[in-house]
Every structure is written in structure tokens, then in C-alpha cells.
């Protein structure tokens, strides 16, 4: 199998955006919006050390690969028991951080043996049969897969997986996408539409954690696309860059689940990716250095503002990809 190309994401998402019927991009607003985003940003991109296991060399690599193996579940998060003042993501990241600090890193072999009840304990949930219990079962499968993959192909060493990418984020995406829960690909009619959200964000997180050096050195971070989740499209919708079909908007606002791989879900994600690509190009046309990774960081952090949490629901899809 040929390794995935990040250009395939761009090409496919552009094609979806051109023929989309449920989601529309307000192209005329792209340039001014991109400019306002760039001007409004504050601190440079960084991982919060209060929530992430940083500064520990190989153990930080282990932590970030383990975290991104379970960096999904936004469709389940309304049912997740969250830490006070924290989102679903930060609840998961902080819980894993605490486990690493209190019990040490999870070795690859240990990951293969984790059960749903073990995940419930690590992530502060009850082992139940409801949506949160279903998510813990998916977390266990994801971590079992990661452990088995690292044991089989990299002799149990997480850093060997990173080094196999040879300082290329695109190659790292290819390696990670060999695992089923990282192989984030949908179809829009006959068109294959890859996103590889969690594989891409793993490279970005490693770069932030290691300051672009060592296990965080990738010479092609500018090749990454926006990390297609449910928060950045929500921010783009609220800010008037994406417009949803009235029926789709009504379903989302009623907090109805949008099925994974449905045309509506593919259009939401693909149009967000293409809109960010258009913003990158608008900024580059003005001579500015812009990347999709940087704009994604700005948009995702913008979405942490309570305004975006309270004004309207975001789309919810139960999937292992975000």
C-alpha cells in the first residue's frame, strides 16, 4: 500500500467543497477573516504543561502517542464525567498526565492488556453500559492496538516509531495510519476523502512538546492540513465562514447525532479543511508566513472561549477519528 499523501486530503476536500449541498464556504469573507485571526493571536502555540506530561524525553513521546491514540470521542463527551472547568479533551489529557506522574509511563506491553474498566479508572469514569462506557471500550481497543503495533514493528519502543518517520510529519502520518483507529478516511460518493486528523495532530504535538527539535523535529510541518474535528468547523460556522443547510443546522442545534461518514459529516469536515487552506493561501498572497497547523491552533483555541460553547451546539458524531 502506498503511504498516504497530505495533498490527497487537500485535493479531496476541495472537491467535496465544490459539490457540497449541506455546507457552503463564504469565500468573500476568507481574506479578511484570515487577517483578523492572524492579528488577534496572542501567545505562540504551546501545550499546557499543567495538563500534559512534558519535559520527560522518551516518556513524553510515550505519553503523546498514548494520548493521541485516544484523542477522540467528542460525540460522547456530553456523557463524559469531566474535571471541573475542563473540556472533554483536557479531562482525558489531564487524567493520563496524572496516571503517568503517579504510576509511571504505560509500556507498550501494558497497553495491550488494558480493559475498558482499566480505562475507566485511568480517565476518571464509571465502567457503565452507557455512552461513556462505550467510549471506554473504544479507548481500550485503541490502546491495545497501539501497544501491539509498537511491540510488533518497533520492539516496544515508542521513540523508534517516531525515528522511523525520518523527520517527516507526512511519513509519521503514514506510519500511524496503519492502525485502524488512525486510518481516518471517508467516502463522498465514489470519492475517497482522507483526513488523518489524529495522525497529523500527533506530529504537531510532538513538535510543540520538543520545541521543534529531537523527536519533535519535522521538516515538513507546513504540509499538515487543518485537523478536522467538530470544534474548528463550529468556530467557522459561528464566525460566518461556513454556512449550513437550514435542516442540517436545525439538527445540530437540536443536538441530534450526525452519523459518521454521512454526506453531511464529510462536508462539514472537508469544507472546514478547504476553508483553512483558502485562508493560508490568502495570507501567503500577502507575503505572510502561514500554515494550516498555525491557523488550526488559533481557531481551536478561539473555540475554548465560553462564547463558542454557549451560543450554539457543535455537531456531534460518535466516531473514533475525533
The Cα 23–Cα 314 span in angstroms is 14
Confidence band of 170 (pLDDT split at 50, 70, 90): very high
Q: What is the pLDDT of residues 283-297, one digit of tens each?
A: 999 999 999 999 999
Task: State the cell numbers at 141.
Answer: 481497543
User: 140: closest CA among 161, 120, 156, 125?
Assistant: 120
- pLDDT tops 80 at residue 55: yes
Query: In this structure, is residue 88 part of a structural domain?
Result: yes
Query: In this structure, is residue 321 part of a structural domain?
Result: no
* Phi-psi group of 7: left, alpha or beta (phi > 0 → left; psi -120 to 50 → alpha; rest → beta): alpha
Query: In this structure, is residue 114 part of a structural domain?
Result: yes
The Cα 2–Cα 4 span in angstroms is 6
> Once rounded to an integer, what is the mean pLDDT over residues 148-169?
98
Helix axes 292-302, 231-238, angle to 10 degrees: 70
DSSP 16-69: HHHH-SSEEE-GGGHHHHHHHHHHH--SPP---TTTS--S-THHHHHHHHHHHH
> Once rounded to an integer, what is the mean pLDDT over residues 84-93?
96
306 exposed, middle or buried (CB, 10 Å; 0-12, 13-18, 19+)?
Answer: exposed
Helix axes 231-238, 263-285, angle to 10 degrees: 70
Catalytic residue, candidates 229, 239, 285, 305 = 229
Residue span of the structural domain in which 15 resides:
6-310
Query: How many domains is the chain partitioned into structurally?
Result: 1
Q: What is the CA radius of gyration of the chain?
A: 19
Examine the residue annotation and report whether 229 is marked as an active-site residue of this protein.
Answer: yes
Confidence band of 100 (pLDDT split at 50, 70, 90): very high
Number of other residues whose CB lies within 10 A of the CB of residue 79: 16
Q: What is the pLDDT of residues 123-155, one digit of tens each?
A: 999 878 899 999 999 999 999 999 999 999 999
Query: In this structure, is residue 131 part of a structural domain?
Result: yes
Confidence band of 41 (pLDDT split at 50, 70, 90): confident
Query: In this structure, is residue 318 part of a structural domain?
Result: no
Q: What is the pLDDT of residues 205-245, one digit of tens each?
A: 999 999 999 999 999 999 999 999 999 999 999 999 999 99
**pLDDT value of residue 3:** 66
- pLDDT tops 90 at residue 108: yes
What is the chain's mean pLDDT, rounded?
A: 96
Confidence band of 92 (pLDDT split at 50, 70, 90): very high
Query: In this structure, is residue 319 part of a structural domain?
Result: no
Long-range contacts of 150-156 (CB under 8 A, 24+ apart): 150/65, 150/108, 150/111, 151/108, 151/109, 151/112, 156/107, 156/108, 156/109
Query: In this structure, is residue 102 part of a structural domain?
Result: yes
Query: In this structure, is residue 317 part of a structural domain?
Result: no
Q: What is this structure's pTM? A: 0.96
Percent of the chain with pLDDT over 70: 99
Amino acid at each position: 500500500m502506498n503511504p498516504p499523501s497530505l495533498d490527497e486530503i487537500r485535493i479531496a476536500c476541495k472537491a467535496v467543497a465544490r459539490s457540497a449541498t449541506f455546507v457552503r464556504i463564504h469565500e468573500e469573507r476568507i481574506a479578511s477573516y484570515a487577517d483578523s485571526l492572524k492579528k488577534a493571536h496572542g501567545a505562540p502555540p504551546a501545550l499546557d504543561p499543567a495538563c500534559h506530561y512534558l519535559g520527560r524525553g522518551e516518556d513524553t513521546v510515550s505519553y503523546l502517542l498514548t494520548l493521541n491514540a485516544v484523542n477522540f470521542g467528542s460525540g460522547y463527551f456530553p456523557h463524559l464525567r469531566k474535571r471541573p472547568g475542563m473540556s472533554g479533551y483536557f479531562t482525558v489529557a489531564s487524567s493520563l498526565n496524572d496516571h503517568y506522574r503517579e504510576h509511571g509511563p504505560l509500556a507498550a506491553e501494558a497497553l495491550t492488556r488494558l480493559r475498558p474498566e482499566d480505562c475507566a479508572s485511568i480517565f476518571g469514569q464509571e465502567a457503565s453500559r452507557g455512552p461513556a462506557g462505550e467510549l471506554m471500550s473504544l479507548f481500550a481497543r485503541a490502546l491495545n492496538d497501539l501497544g501491539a503495533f509498537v511491540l510488533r514493528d518497533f520492539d516496544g519502543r515508542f521513540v523508534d516509531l517516531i525515528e522511523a518517520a525520518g523527520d517527516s510529519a507526512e511519513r509519521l502520518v503514514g506510519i500511524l495510519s496503519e492502525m485502524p483507529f488512525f486510518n481516518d478516511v471517508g467516502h463522498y460518493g465514489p470519492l475517497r476523502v482522507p483526513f488523518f486528523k489524529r495522525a497529523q495532530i500527533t506530529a504537531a504535538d510532538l513538535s510543540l512538546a520538543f520545541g521543534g527539535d529531537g523527536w519533535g523535529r519535522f521538516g515538513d510541518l507546513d504540509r499538515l492540513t487543518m485537523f478536522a474535528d467538530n470544534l474548528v468547523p463550529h468556530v467557522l460556522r459561528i464566525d460566518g465562514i461556513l454556512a449550513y443547510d437550514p435542516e442540517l443546522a436545525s439538527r445540530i442545534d437540536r443536538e441530534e447525532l450526525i452519523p459518521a461518514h454521512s454526506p453531511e459529516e464529510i462536508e462539514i469536515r472537508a469544507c472546514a479543511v478547504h476553508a483553512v487552506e483558502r485562508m493560508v493561501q490568502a495570507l501567503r498572497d500577502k507575503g505572510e508566513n502561514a500554515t494550516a497547523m498555525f491557523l488550526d491552533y488559533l481557531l481551536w483555541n478561539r473555540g475554548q472561549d465560553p462564547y463558542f460553547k454557549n451560543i450554539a451546539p457543535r455537531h456531534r458524531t460518535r466516531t473514533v477519528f475525533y
